[in-house]
Structure 1
Amino acid sequence: MASGLFEQVDNEPVEQDKKKERRVKLFSYDSVAAQMLEPYGENGLDSLTLQQVWAGTSKGNKSCVYHSHLAADQSSDAWHVGAGISMTAAALLAAIANFKSPNMKNLIVPTLYDKVLLEVTTLEPILLALNFGKGSASATDTGSFRAAKKAKLTTSADVSATGSTVDPADAAVKFRNWLLQEKSAFRGFLFVLSGKNSYYSGQVAELVARSAVTCKPMSEQDFVNAVKARMQKPEEGLGSKVAGSTPSGLFDA
């Protein structure tokens, strides 16, 4: 008999009507920088207006409420808004540190380098006063990218600004005014060097390919065979579009 095959089951699971609650805790992959990253080409960030950038940032996705703590509610969650300001300062400070490297000084035309340097010299102590640091998940890296992907962007612990004599409240006013400037040499510098993220994605792609050749390893013939295989259609068994589950065997003679 086929008893149990077509009968109604009384203890069927009840459908969950409630949607999964979106989190306000952000991880590195939730950030706008990660969301807009195009790993094999150029991203479209430069073509967006400020209104479009903010719309995408504040909308979030199915997992997180927003993509930056700057989008947190100002009246009920000012702490997270402050965390967003702090992380913005940290990102800009990292860019300033790399700008001051000898390689960059050799790369940029002296007049333009001095123009940017003049601006960041004034901006840096302001950012230092706002950079309260960020927390990180206590995960051991086992040779994968797990630790980097799971790193938390904020911590609930009390923190204090270091490395600057500027009062944080005064720094907040000055930083906001800097953001409202119509023109900025440093901002223009970041725009040009971002290259729509193509420089970073290009560097990573080259690094991974070089590691494959060296560590996999891949011989010259392996490379040639892979390129030739790419020029042909995959075999039917590979990547087949046939459904993995069918009633085959139930009604067959």
Structure 2
Amino acid sequence: MTGTPFDVPETDRLLTTTRSVRRRLDLDRPVPRAVIEDALEVAVQAPTANDQQNWRWVVITEQAVKDRLAELFDISWQFHQKEVWTRSGRRRNSAQARRNNESAAALAGTIARVPVLVIPCVLGRPPDIGAIDAEWLGQDLASENAGTWKDRVRIGAMRASNFYGSIFPAVWSFQLALRSRGLGSTITNMHLPFERHVGELLGIPAGVTQVCMVPVAYTIGTEFRPARRVPAKERTSWERWRA
């Protein structure tokens, strides 16, 4: 077998131009249910820790529900904007910071009109890293060598990584599948301060974690460019950490 299994330039174009779309969402064009379902079928092929596949997806299209979510979204956005803008110091005066703030503000103002809102969920609650580490340190391990390494090992961070690492690859796959079909999306978490209220509104059990919200719509125009990023080689260390 020769060559590569995929068209590399086209695959790279998809990966490097799947942007967070907020201002270029087409708020007036309906999104067929089948398109969302197809993209989610792609998403659930993403890898998960321990092959648990404990994700769930709540898709919202009812206007009355979107209106209520938009109200909660706006409250969180107003608080978040003031907090972050105050803490960001000189960074808030950069052109990029202003563009990002304007883009987020635009989404806050139009979120109720976005055709589809998707809330990815995970069964269970996020691990308490401190509690898990304390429980680990309190165990009486049978291994005769345990005393030489037990106090230097922590497993809470591993559990937390497994928890979120099992949903965000699927969210990203969902976004890529949307992009390949001419739709845009972004990840936002402005509803999460009201997670309990949103859970009651949507019938999501208290034992299920709402991870984020993904607004979905067709895009106004289809051309997106790679973002300005520091080259990876300037932020990559081989064999040992280098600042």
Q: Return the TM-score normalized by structure 1.
A: 0.28
Give the structure with higher Rg (CA): 1
Give the strand-richer structure, 1 or 2. 2
Q: Return the TM-score normalized by structure 2.
A: 0.28
